[in-house]
Structure formats: structure tokens, C-alpha cells
Amino acid sequence: MSRPRFICLDPRKRKRAAVEAVIGPVGEIAFLKAVPMRLGGYPETEAVAEAALAAAIRPKKGWMGRAAKRKLYALQYNGARRFFERQTGVIAACWNGLNGSRYVFMQGAQDAGARRLFFELAPLPGRITVDPCGVNFRNALPRTVAPFLDWAEKAGVPADGWRSVGGEINQRKGGGALERSEELPALAEPFIFVPLQVPNDSQLRLFGGAYKTVPALIDAVIGAAEHLPDGWHVRIKEHPSAKISFAERIRAATGRRVYLDNATDTFELVQKSRAVLTVNSSVGLEAMFYDKPVIAAGQCFWSLPGVALEAPEPSDLERIFAAPQDLSFDAESRNAFLSYLVERYYIRLDWLADDRAEMPGSEVPKVLAKISEARPLLP
């Protein structure tokens, strides 16, 4: 059987090293420096270009800038689709693939009938996401818990084999200048922890639902906090990499049992909290390794019944905050879900240096399976 051929849109140095480490052992890789372009269009060109424009990391504000960007994405989609129509049998690979040019590259590949692989750093240490459908909320994982429960029963995996990974989770380093809030309640008092995401995070823009901006979540949390029982409070922490601070907006609500705590380690706050609320930050998934109830305000691949709670509207937050002592999760469902992520979904990756990585040979069958899999991943 011939080795598969991958056409990868060239990512930056460290990310390229990760891609090479994962698919280099199983196939041949050709890197493209830029997305091909072509004038001739397709019936889907306009819609794809519009979707790419909506997902762009730095959207143009003026109509001329937006028109130029839309035209660029249209040309790139046409070029990528035509490229993969001619390169039959290859697999398109891309880092992230949610935004702009990378989105149209992968969409062109799909519409040409090519298989695809998306890459992204995993929320768990020492692992990488490799998925045939997309990353984050667009990944190929089932959206119900039943397949995970069936898999866990058939695989006979230990119910808590995933717990060892929790000890490797640490707070991410960031470059933002975050201030300390004064006169905080003691960590021993019951509180809900709200870790904020980076403003303009694509996770918020694409999958945030009612909370596409950081201020939208802050305001909803402040309103919901008024429904907390006596003795409870909310602790908010800004993202360590945030370059824009909403400290004053949060401090203005201190009298309403909402406090800013940028100084305490993120996972100390997770550990001491009674529950964690996020739009769709990876901290929500990581909090499960601390046995915490997790509330998802946005679209998350991990917000499955029994695994996490969903609160897509401010009214849902108000209802949940009114009885935080009742927050819980189903241990069997969560065990099965986390076991699958650790044992089957994420690929192990060992970093040898900043620009060199190595994948253990035991992970090769998992990569080969992902090349042939389509939604859902589980049998």
C-alpha cells in the first residue's frame, strides 16, 4: 500500500515541526507557502468567501477593505479547489483552519473531494489535536455521551485512567499586564470561577453564541451574581495573554459579589472553586480533571449531558446561579468522555526543542485511523 501524500499549508516554525512529527512517519508531505489563486469561480465561491470574511482574525472595517478581502478569499477558494481537483488522492492538511485564508484552503479541498486533516495544540499537555473535520467545536467527536459510554465499556479502560494527566496541567504563561484586585474574599468561601478568554478570540467570535465578546460575558455574570445565595461570590480572572483589560468594568461590580482576581494561579482558583464557568475556554475542559462542575455558556465540544452544563442565555446563568450548591455532573459519563480524549482522540507529542518534536511510534495507528475516519470518530 502506497504512503499517503499530504499537501499542507505551511504553518510557522514550531507548528510545522508538530505537523512533520505527526504525519511524517506515515506519509509524504509537501508544504505550500501560500494558497493558490484562480479567477474562474464555482457556485459556492461567494458564500465561502463571505464565511471566511466573517471569520477573519483582523476583519476590515471599511467597505473597500472588506470588498478587497472578500475578493482575495474568493480567488483563494477557486485556486485551492482547482488545485485539489487536479491533485487526486492527496490529503489537505492545515493548522487550525477556522479563519480567513486557511478556512478557504480547507473548504476548497473538501469541495474538491479531498480528505482533510486539521491540527491544533490540544488543551491537555503533551498532546496535539489531529482531526478530519476541524478543530474545537468543529471537530469530529460525537455530540452525545452514549458513544463514549459504549466505547468505554467495550474497551475496558480503567474508569479513572485519565486522572494522571491532570497533574501535568499548569497555568499558561502570558504577556499581558494584569493588575491585582484588593480586598478579595477568602478562597475558602464558596465561589464560581470565571476565567476570561483573550478578547477577539476566534473561539468567542465563531462559537460564543450570546457571548461573542468578553464584555458580554462579564455583564451577564454581573447580572446573574445578584441571584447567588448568601455567602457565595464570583471570582473573575482575565486571560494572562490579554492585551486589553476590563478590570474597571469588573471592579465596578465588587459590591454585587463579583471580584477580580488576576493574581492567583488559574488552577488554584479552579481547585478552590465550587464550579467553573466559561464561554468555551479550554479551562472548562481542564477543570474536569479537578472534578469540578463546569458550565459552558458558548458552543463547546465537551458540553455533553452529564459531562457539563449548558447556559447559552443570561436567563440560564441566573437560574444556575440561584442554586449553585446543586451543581453536579455524572461521573460515569465524564469518565468515559475524558478516557476517550486521553486514550484515543489526542495524539501524544514530545517536544525536543522549540522547533523539533517527536511522536511516539505507538501513536502511528491513531494517526492512520484519523486519515480514514469521518464523523463521528467513534464506531
pLDDT band (50, 70, 90) for residue 379: very low
Rounded-to-integer distance, Cα 188 and Cα 268, Å: 12
Q: How far is CA 230 from CA 226, 260, 317, 323, in A?
A: 10, 19, 17, 11
pLDDT digits (tens, 9 = 90+) for 236-278: 999 998 999 999 999 988 778 999 999 999 999 999 999 999 9
Predicted confidence at residue 161, as pLDDT, reads 82
From the list 232, 357, 360, 220, the residue with the least C-alpha distance to 298 is 220
Predicted confidence at residue 168, as pLDDT, reads 75
Q: What is the DSSP string of 262-331?
A: -SS-HHHHHHH-SEEEESS-HHHHHHGGGT--EEESS--TT--TTT-EE--SHHHHHHHHHSGGG----H
* Residue 54, Ramachandran bin (φ over 0: left; ψ between -120 and 50: alpha; else beta): alpha
% of the chain with per-residue pLDDT over 90: 79
Rounded-to-integer distance, Cα 28 and Cα 32, Å: 13
Rounded-to-integer distance, Cα 293 and Cα 324, Å: 10
pLDDT digits (tens, 9 = 90+) for 206-229: 999 999 999 999 999 999 999 999
pLDDT digits (tens, 9 = 90+) for 83-135: 999 998 999 999 999 999 999 999 999 999 999 999 999 999 899 999 999 99
Residue 333 has pLDDT above 80, yes or no: yes
Taking residues 18-46, report their average pLDDT.
96
pLDDT band (50, 70, 90) for residue 374: low
Beta bridge mates, 30: 7
Predicted confidence at residue 177, as pLDDT, reads 41
pLDDT band (50, 70, 90) for residue 54: confident
Taking residues 171-177, report their average pLDDT.
51
Predicted confidence at residue 134, as pLDDT, reads 95
From the list 299, 318, 312, 322, the residue with the least C-alpha distance to 221 is 318
Q: What is the DSSP string of 19-83?
A: HHHHHTTTSEEEEESS----S---TTHHHHHHHHHHH-SS---SHHHHHHHHHHHHHHHHHHHHH
From the list 3, 117, 143, 154, the residue with the least C-alpha distance to 370 is 117
Around Cβ 203, how many Cβ atoms within 10 Å?
22
Predicted confidence at residue 377, as pLDDT, reads 55
pLDDT band (50, 70, 90) for residue 378: low
Mean pLDDT of the chain: 91
Q: How far is CA 250 from CA 176, 219, 240, 253, in A?
A: 17, 9, 16, 6
Predicted confidence at residue 367, as pLDDT, reads 94
Return the C-alpha cell found at 308.
457539563
Residue 179 has pLDDT above 60, yes or no: no
Predicted confidence at residue 172, as pLDDT, reads 57
pLDDT band (50, 70, 90) for residue 175: very low
pLDDT band (50, 70, 90) for residue 355: confident
In this structure, what is the dihedral angle of CA atoms 51, 54, 59, 65, given to the nearest 10 degrees?
60
Predicted confidence at residue 60, as pLDDT, reads 67
